[in-house]
């Protein structure tokens, strides 16, 4: 199968990195504030080094883009680039919640071709290769055969809920908070929730792996303007994300696709 070697190296790297994250969770870690006031821990940095060492030594010709590494624009000249979030959901990691994950995607000419999202707390590793389907702990994932009668679950940013965004959705959904967007994209891909919506800025490393999981499961994903996600760009940032899982009810999927970032979609003034 295409990209078997890349996937096998990724699985080894991400599981080793996950063990490192768990070690820090038990032994303790330091936390500092980045210039943008977001937190970063010594665990984030250690996980980043594990992934960097494993992946760049195995594939020295590939580029590298990580939340916790300096961005070297030479990556723009590379045919393939690893796009990495060492710990997505750092605040959840700090507070001891099982809502963080390690997210790694391999990009080729703007598109994800190999992906892994690993939650060390639950020992769940979601992987995909382009055209190869979605797997959980190396077993094929079959989403629920049909949607249940319950209200569909949509993951929303808590701050956006507080200011009244997406109020038009609320009568027909159950809301789930986004603590890690990579993690909720994995949940949507497997049919545990029906979708993910945010207009908050998201980075390539937040969604590169999740994008492949979603599409390989038969779902859809775009930025907040409804545009296709392309990766390894000079400015690796999107204006929001809208994703639907493979069994999102069609009426709701259409409602989500009609949302346009910045338009009047039931936003409280």
For the stretch 91-114, pLDDT in tens is 999 999 999 999 999 999 999 999
- Predicted confidence at residue 151, as pLDDT, reads 83
Residues 123, 27 share a domain: yes
Q: Where do the H-state alpha helices sit in 28-157?
A: 42-58, 90-94
The residue whose two tokens read 């190999």 is 114
Are residues 67 and 159 located together in one domain of the fold?
no
Per-residue model confidence (pLDDT) at position 125? 98
- The whole-chain average pLDDT of the chain stands at 92
Q: What's the CATH code of the domain at 16? A: 3.30.540.10
Q: What is the mean pLDDT of the segment spanning 139-166?
A: 81
Cα(127)–Cα(110) distance, integer angstroms: 19
Q: What is the mean pLDDT of residues 124-131?
A: 97
**147 assigned to some structural domain:** no
Mean pLDDT of 144-172: 81
Is the per-residue pLDDT at 166 higher than 90? no
Is there a domain that residue 263 lies in? no
pLDDT digits (tens, 9 = 90+) for 39-81: 999 999 999 999 999 999 999 999 999 999 999 999 999 999 9
Domain interval for residue 83: 4-140
Total structural domains in the chain? 2
What are the start-end ranges of the E strands in the chain? 31-33, 39-41, 63-66, 80-88, 101-108, 111-119, 124-129, 133-136, 139-140, 153-156, 174-177, 195-203, 220-223, 237-244
Structure tokens at 153: 């679950």
What global pTM score does this model have? Answer: 0.94
């Amino acid at each position: 199968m295409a990209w078997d070697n890349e996937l096998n190296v990724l699985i080894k790297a991400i599981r080793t990195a996950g063990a490192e994250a768990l070690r820090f969770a038990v032994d303790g870690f330091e936390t500092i504030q980045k210039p943008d006031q977001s937190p970063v821990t010594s665990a984030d940095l250690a996980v980043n080094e594990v992934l960097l060492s494993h992946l760049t030594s195995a594939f020295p010709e590939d580029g590298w883009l990580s939340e916790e590494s300096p961005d070297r624009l030479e990556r723009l000249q590379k045919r393939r680039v690893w796009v990495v979030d060492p710990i997505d959901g750092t605040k959840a990691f700090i507070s001891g919640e099982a809502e963080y994950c390690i997210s790694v995607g391999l990009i080729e000419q703007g598109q994800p071709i190999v992906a892994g999202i690993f939650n060390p707390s639950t020992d769940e590793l979601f992987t995909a290769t382009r055209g190869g389907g979605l797997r959980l702990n190396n077993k094929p994932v079959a989403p629920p055969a049909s949607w249940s009668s319950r209200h569909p679950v949509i993951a929303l940013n808590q701050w956006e809920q507080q200011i009244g965004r997406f109020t038009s959705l609320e009568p027909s959904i159950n809301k789930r908070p986004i603590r890690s967007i990579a993690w909720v994209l994995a949940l949507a891909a497997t049919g545990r929730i029906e979708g993910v919506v945010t207009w908050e800025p998201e980075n390539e490393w937040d969604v590169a792996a999740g994008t492949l999981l979603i599409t390989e499961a038969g779902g859809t994903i775009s930025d907040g303007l409804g545009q296709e996600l392309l990766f390894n760009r000079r400015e690796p940032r999107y204006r929001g994300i809208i994703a639907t899982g493979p069994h999102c009810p069609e009426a709701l999927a259409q409602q989500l696709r009609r949302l346009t970032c910045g338009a009047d979609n039931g936003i409280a003034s």
